[in-house]
Amino acid sequence: MPKIAYFNGQYGPHHKAMVHIDDRGYQFADGIYEVCLVIGGRYWDMDGHLARMERSLSALRIRMPLGVASLQVVMNEVLRRNRLSDALVYIQVTRGVAPRNHPFPADEVPPALIITARRFDLDQSDAQAATGVRVITAPDIRWGRVDIKSISLLPNVLAKQAGVEAGAAEAWLVRNGKVTEGSSSNAWIVTDDGALVTHPKGHEILSGITRETALACARDLQIKVEERAFSVSEAQQAAEAFVTSATNLVTPVVQIDGVKVGDGAPGRVALRLREAYKARARRISGAQND
Protein backbone atom coordinates (compact mmCIF):
# COMPACT_ATOMS: atom_id res chain seq x y z
CA MET A 1 0.00 0.00 0.00
CA PRO A 2 1.54 3.37 -0.98
CA LYS A 3 1.96 5.99 1.72
CA ILE A 4 -0.56 8.81 1.54
CA ALA A 5 0.27 12.44 2.37
CA TYR A 6 -1.75 15.61 2.67
CA PHE A 7 -0.28 18.59 0.87
CA ASN A 8 -1.95 21.96 0.39
CA GLY A 9 -5.56 20.84 0.33
CA GLN A 10 -5.27 17.43 -1.27
CA TYR A 11 -4.42 13.84 -0.42
CA GLY A 12 -2.17 11.78 -2.63
CA PRO A 13 0.77 9.37 -2.85
CA HIS A 14 3.64 10.40 -0.62
CA HIS A 15 6.16 10.19 -3.47
CA LYS A 16 4.13 12.63 -5.55
CA ALA A 17 3.76 15.31 -2.84
CA MET A 18 5.87 18.13 -4.28
CA VAL A 19 6.98 21.47 -2.84
CA HIS A 20 6.88 24.50 -5.15
CA ILE A 21 10.32 25.86 -6.00
CA ASP A 22 9.29 29.27 -4.59
CA ASP A 23 7.93 27.89 -1.33
CA ARG A 24 9.51 30.01 1.41
CA GLY A 25 10.18 26.91 3.47
CA TYR A 26 12.39 25.62 0.66
CA GLN A 27 13.99 29.01 0.00
CA PHE A 28 14.41 30.40 3.53
CA ALA A 29 13.42 27.68 6.03
CA ASP A 30 10.54 30.08 6.73
CA GLY A 31 8.25 27.72 8.59
CA ILE A 32 7.65 25.42 11.55
CA TYR A 33 6.89 21.76 12.20
CA GLU A 34 5.43 19.47 14.84
CA VAL A 35 5.56 15.71 15.41
CA CYS A 36 2.62 14.12 17.22
CA LEU A 37 2.54 10.64 18.72
CA VAL A 38 -0.54 8.44 18.18
CA ILE A 39 -1.12 5.36 20.34
CA GLY A 40 -4.01 3.01 19.70
CA GLY A 41 -5.56 5.53 17.34
CA ARG A 42 -5.50 8.28 19.98
CA TYR A 43 -3.23 11.29 20.10
CA TRP A 44 -0.78 11.56 22.96
CA ASP A 45 -0.03 15.08 24.26
CA MET A 46 -2.03 16.60 21.39
CA ASP A 47 -2.95 19.78 23.27
CA GLY A 48 0.71 20.52 24.01
CA HIS A 49 1.77 20.02 20.40
CA LEU A 50 -0.99 22.20 18.97
CA ALA A 51 -0.38 24.92 21.55
CA ARG A 52 3.34 24.98 20.69
CA MET A 53 2.47 25.00 17.00
CA GLU A 54 0.29 28.07 17.48
CA ARG A 55 3.01 29.79 19.55
CA SER A 56 5.67 29.08 16.94
CA LEU A 57 3.50 30.34 14.08
CA SER A 58 2.58 33.44 16.04
CA ALA A 59 6.24 34.20 16.76
CA LEU A 60 7.00 34.00 13.02
CA ARG A 61 3.81 35.90 12.11
CA ILE A 62 2.46 33.04 10.04
CA ARG A 63 -1.25 32.38 10.36
CA MET A 64 -2.65 28.96 11.16
CA PRO A 65 -3.38 27.22 7.84
CA LEU A 66 -6.54 25.61 9.29
CA GLY A 67 -8.55 25.89 12.46
CA VAL A 68 -7.59 23.40 15.15
CA ALA A 69 -10.71 21.27 14.60
CA SER A 70 -10.17 21.15 10.84
CA LEU A 71 -6.50 20.36 11.32
CA GLN A 72 -7.38 17.39 13.50
CA VAL A 73 -9.84 16.15 10.87
CA VAL A 74 -7.06 16.18 8.25
CA MET A 75 -4.62 14.45 10.61
CA ASN A 76 -7.17 11.73 11.34
CA GLU A 77 -7.81 11.28 7.63
CA VAL A 78 -4.07 10.86 6.96
CA LEU A 79 -3.99 8.15 9.63
CA ARG A 80 -7.09 6.46 8.16
CA ARG A 81 -5.76 6.47 4.61
CA ASN A 82 -2.47 5.00 5.80
CA ARG A 83 -4.26 2.45 8.03
CA LEU A 84 -2.22 3.45 11.06
CA SER A 85 -3.21 3.30 14.73
CA ASP A 86 0.27 3.67 16.26
CA ALA A 87 2.13 6.40 14.42
CA LEU A 88 4.11 9.60 14.33
CA VAL A 89 2.25 12.38 12.51
CA TYR A 90 4.45 15.08 10.96
CA ILE A 91 2.99 18.55 10.38
CA GLN A 92 4.84 21.30 8.51
CA VAL A 93 3.63 24.83 7.84
CA THR A 94 5.52 27.42 5.80
CA ARG A 95 4.70 31.01 4.93
CA GLY A 96 3.69 29.82 1.49
CA VAL A 97 4.69 30.36 -2.12
CA ALA A 98 5.92 33.77 -3.30
CA PRO A 99 8.66 35.18 -5.54
CA ARG A 100 12.01 34.87 -3.77
CA ASN A 101 12.57 37.98 -1.66
CA HIS A 102 13.67 38.22 1.97
CA PRO A 103 10.79 40.41 3.26
CA PHE A 104 7.37 38.89 3.78
CA PRO A 105 5.27 38.79 0.60
CA ALA A 106 3.58 42.15 -0.03
CA ASP A 107 0.33 40.38 -0.85
CA GLU A 108 -0.87 37.83 1.65
CA VAL A 109 -0.38 34.27 0.43
CA PRO A 110 -1.90 31.15 1.98
CA PRO A 111 0.41 29.17 4.27
CA ALA A 112 1.59 25.83 2.87
CA LEU A 113 0.58 22.78 4.91
CA ILE A 114 1.98 19.26 4.68
CA ILE A 115 0.95 16.32 6.89
CA THR A 116 2.45 12.83 6.75
CA ALA A 117 2.41 9.80 9.03
CA ARG A 118 4.59 6.78 9.63
CA ARG A 119 4.29 3.71 11.80
CA PHE A 120 5.63 3.92 15.36
CA ASP A 121 5.99 1.33 18.09
CA LEU A 122 6.07 2.60 21.67
CA ASP A 123 8.48 -0.23 22.51
CA GLN A 124 10.78 0.21 19.50
CA SER A 125 13.58 1.86 21.49
CA ASP A 126 13.50 -0.61 24.42
CA ALA A 127 16.67 -2.39 23.30
CA GLN A 128 18.53 0.89 23.07
CA ALA A 129 17.26 1.96 26.48
CA ALA A 130 18.35 -1.36 28.00
CA THR A 131 21.99 -0.74 27.05
CA GLY A 132 22.00 3.06 27.14
CA VAL A 133 23.46 5.43 24.56
CA ARG A 134 26.59 7.50 24.18
CA VAL A 135 26.59 11.23 23.54
CA ILE A 136 29.23 13.74 22.54
CA THR A 137 29.19 17.48 23.13
CA ALA A 138 29.31 20.19 20.48
CA PRO A 139 29.13 24.00 20.45
CA ASP A 140 25.60 25.35 20.37
CA ILE A 141 25.72 27.55 17.28
CA ARG A 142 21.95 27.83 16.80
CA TRP A 143 20.05 31.11 16.58
CA GLY A 144 18.62 32.95 19.57
CA ARG A 145 15.02 31.67 19.37
CA VAL A 146 15.43 27.95 19.75
CA ASP A 147 12.05 27.85 21.53
CA ILE A 148 10.38 28.27 18.11
CA LYS A 149 10.05 24.86 16.44
CA SER A 150 11.49 26.13 13.19
CA ILE A 151 12.34 23.93 10.21
CA SER A 152 15.72 25.71 10.14
CA LEU A 153 17.69 22.80 11.62
CA LEU A 154 21.08 22.89 9.91
CA PRO A 155 23.09 23.37 13.17
CA ASN A 156 21.17 20.44 14.66
CA VAL A 157 21.91 18.33 11.59
CA LEU A 158 25.63 19.11 11.77
CA ALA A 159 25.74 18.26 15.48
CA LYS A 160 23.83 15.03 14.99
CA GLN A 161 26.12 14.01 12.14
CA ALA A 162 29.16 14.70 14.32
CA GLY A 163 27.62 12.35 16.88
CA VAL A 164 27.00 9.64 14.29
CA GLU A 165 30.57 9.88 13.03
CA ALA A 166 31.82 9.55 16.62
CA GLY A 167 29.70 6.46 17.20
CA ALA A 168 27.27 8.32 19.46
CA ALA A 169 23.47 8.47 19.38
CA GLU A 170 23.23 12.16 20.21
CA ALA A 171 25.16 15.41 20.53
CA TRP A 172 24.60 17.62 23.55
CA LEU A 173 24.91 21.29 22.67
CA VAL A 174 26.97 23.58 24.89
CA ARG A 175 26.64 27.36 25.19
CA ASN A 176 28.58 29.51 27.68
CA GLY A 177 29.90 26.39 29.36
CA LYS A 178 26.44 24.91 29.98
CA VAL A 179 24.53 22.11 28.27
CA THR A 180 21.37 23.46 26.66
CA GLU A 181 19.88 20.34 25.05
CA GLY A 182 20.55 17.66 22.47
CA SER A 183 20.43 18.09 18.72
CA SER A 184 17.00 16.42 18.69
CA SER A 185 16.22 15.82 22.36
CA ASN A 186 16.23 17.40 25.82
CA ALA A 187 19.17 16.62 28.12
CA TRP A 188 18.89 15.50 31.76
CA ILE A 189 21.13 14.37 34.59
CA VAL A 190 20.44 12.76 37.96
CA THR A 191 22.35 14.02 41.00
CA ASP A 192 23.83 11.83 43.71
CA ASP A 193 20.79 12.52 45.90
CA GLY A 194 18.39 11.40 43.14
CA ALA A 195 17.18 14.77 41.85
CA LEU A 196 16.51 15.30 38.14
CA VAL A 197 18.20 18.31 36.55
CA THR A 198 17.32 19.78 33.15
CA HIS A 199 17.76 23.19 31.51
CA PRO A 200 14.91 25.61 32.30
CA LYS A 201 12.50 26.73 29.62
CA GLY A 202 13.38 29.87 27.71
CA HIS A 203 14.72 30.98 24.35
CA GLU A 204 17.77 28.70 24.71
CA ILE A 205 15.91 25.39 24.37
CA LEU A 206 12.95 23.88 22.59
CA SER A 207 10.78 22.81 25.47
CA GLY A 208 9.88 19.33 24.31
CA ILE A 209 6.38 18.00 24.89
CA THR A 210 8.01 14.74 26.03
CA ARG A 211 10.05 16.85 28.46
CA GLU A 212 6.83 18.22 29.97
CA THR A 213 5.35 14.73 30.30
CA ALA A 214 8.57 13.47 31.90
CA LEU A 215 8.28 16.27 34.45
CA ALA A 216 4.68 15.21 35.16
CA CYS A 217 5.82 11.59 35.60
CA ALA A 218 8.56 12.72 37.98
CA ARG A 219 5.97 14.55 40.07
CA ASP A 220 3.82 11.40 40.16
CA LEU A 221 6.85 9.41 41.32
CA GLN A 222 7.72 12.12 43.85
CA ILE A 223 11.15 12.65 42.32
CA LYS A 224 12.70 16.04 42.98
CA VAL A 225 13.32 18.17 39.89
CA GLU A 226 15.72 21.11 39.47
CA GLU A 227 15.22 23.18 36.31
CA ARG A 228 18.66 24.74 35.96
CA ALA A 229 21.64 24.69 33.63
CA PHE A 230 24.46 22.21 34.20
CA SER A 231 28.01 21.93 32.86
CA VAL A 232 29.59 19.09 30.91
CA SER A 233 31.80 18.18 33.85
CA GLU A 234 28.79 18.06 36.19
CA ALA A 235 27.05 15.76 33.71
CA GLN A 236 30.06 13.47 33.46
CA GLN A 237 30.21 13.23 37.26
CA ALA A 238 26.45 12.75 37.68
CA ALA A 239 24.89 9.57 39.01
CA GLU A 240 22.87 9.17 35.80
CA ALA A 241 22.01 10.97 32.58
CA PHE A 242 19.31 10.56 29.96
CA VAL A 243 17.56 12.18 27.01
CA THR A 244 13.88 12.67 26.24
CA SER A 245 12.17 13.02 22.86
CA ALA A 246 9.02 11.85 21.07
CA THR A 247 10.82 8.97 19.37
CA ASN A 248 13.23 7.98 22.16
CA LEU A 249 10.84 8.58 25.08
CA VAL A 250 13.23 8.44 28.07
CA THR A 251 16.58 6.88 27.10
CA PRO A 252 19.54 6.51 29.50
CA VAL A 253 22.92 8.02 28.60
CA VAL A 254 25.89 5.92 29.73
CA GLN A 255 28.80 7.90 28.30
CA ILE A 256 29.51 11.58 27.60
CA ASP A 257 32.56 12.46 25.47
CA GLY A 258 34.05 9.05 26.26
CA VAL A 259 33.56 9.42 30.03
CA LYS A 260 31.35 6.88 31.78
CA VAL A 261 28.31 8.25 33.57
CA GLY A 262 27.88 6.54 36.94
CA ASP A 263 28.85 2.90 36.56
CA GLY A 264 28.47 3.05 32.78
CA ALA A 265 25.11 1.26 32.77
CA PRO A 266 21.54 2.59 32.39
CA GLY A 267 20.48 4.22 35.64
CA ARG A 268 17.62 3.09 37.85
CA VAL A 269 15.94 6.51 37.95
CA ALA A 270 15.96 6.90 34.15
CA LEU A 271 14.55 3.42 33.57
CA ARG A 272 11.90 3.97 36.21
CA LEU A 273 10.89 7.24 34.57
CA ARG A 274 10.78 5.56 31.16
CA GLU A 275 8.38 2.89 32.40
CA ALA A 276 6.24 5.54 34.07
CA TYR A 277 6.11 7.49 30.80
CA LYS A 278 5.04 4.43 28.79
CA ALA A 279 2.48 3.42 31.41
CA ARG A 280 1.02 6.93 31.40
CA ALA A 281 0.78 6.93 27.60
CA ARG A 282 -0.96 3.56 27.50
CA ARG A 283 -3.25 4.42 30.42
CA ILE A 284 -4.45 7.67 28.87
CA SER A 285 -4.80 6.08 25.44
CA GLY A 286 -6.78 3.22 26.93
CA ALA A 287 -9.01 5.58 28.88
CA GLN A 288 -9.76 7.51 25.70
CA ASN A 289 -10.62 4.29 23.89
CA ASP A 290 -13.22 3.26 26.52
Does the annotation mark 160 as catalytic? Answer: no
- Under a CB-based contact definition with an 8 Å cutoff, are residues 149 and 36 in contact? no
CB burial readout 210-243, b (16+ within 10 A) else e: bbbbbbebbeeeebeeeeebbebeebbebbbbbb
Contact 145, 201 (CB under 8 A): no
Pairwise CA distance, residues 79 & 82, whole Å: 5
Pairing of strands 196-198, 186-190: antiparallel
Query: Of 3, 149, 178, 278, which one is the catalytic site residue?
Result: 149
CA nearest to 269, candidates 228, 235, 225, 223:
223
φ, ψ dihedrals at 34, nearest 5°: -145, 155
The 3-state DSSP class for residue 177 equals coil
What is the distance between the alpha carbons of residues 104 and 109, in angstroms, rounded to a whole number?
10
Beta bridge partners of 12: 5
DSSP strand pairing (87-94 vs 112-119)? antiparallel
User: Distance of alpha carbon 12 from its chain centroid, rounded?
Assistant: 26
Strands (E), the chain: 4-7, 10-13, 31-39, 42-44, 87-94, 112-119, 133-139, 170-175, 178-182, 186-190, 196-198, 225-227, 230-231, 240-245, 249-256, 259-260
- Distance linking the first and last C-alpha atoms of the chain: 30
Spatial distance between the Cα atoms of 63 and 61, rounded to a whole number of angstroms: 6
Looking at the annotation, which residues are catalytic?
A: 149
